[in-house]
Amino acid sequence: MGCGSASGPPPTPTLHDADESHAARAASRVLGNATRYRTLILNAVAHGLSNARSEATNTHLRLLTRRAYGYRSPEALIAMADLTRGGLCPPLPGRS
């Protein structure tokens, strides 16, 4: 057998090769999503919109509901939600 003969199994891929392949697939997926949703992404950036406020409100109301198990009626939960997230600002007694 000479030096140039190809005997034996082919070299096994290393972990580094697998990471590069995974990174390439992930980058391709992100780029595909970015091009698919390009208009929506540009609109969100241009107008400064996100779903952060709605997510914060949902989380806050979920926590209020957990606290409301000790209340006597659902109206108490609704009143608490109105006070904390509804923008109500009733006049407090003894304050102007």
Check residue 63 and give its pLDDT.
93
Are 60 and 39 part of one and the same domain?
no
pLDDT of residue 40: 83
Number of domains in the chain: 2
Structural domain boundaries enclosing 39: 17-47
pLDDT along the chain (96 residues), means of 10: 61 66 82 83 84 88 90 88 82 80
Taken as a whole, the chain contains a residue count of: 96
- Helix, strand, coil % over all residues of the chain, rounded to 5: 65, 0, 35
pTM for the predicted model, two decimal places: 0.47
Judge whether 49 and 43 are in contact, CB under 8 Å.
yes
Amino acid identity of residue 48, one-letter, is G
- Same domain flag for 33 and 56: no
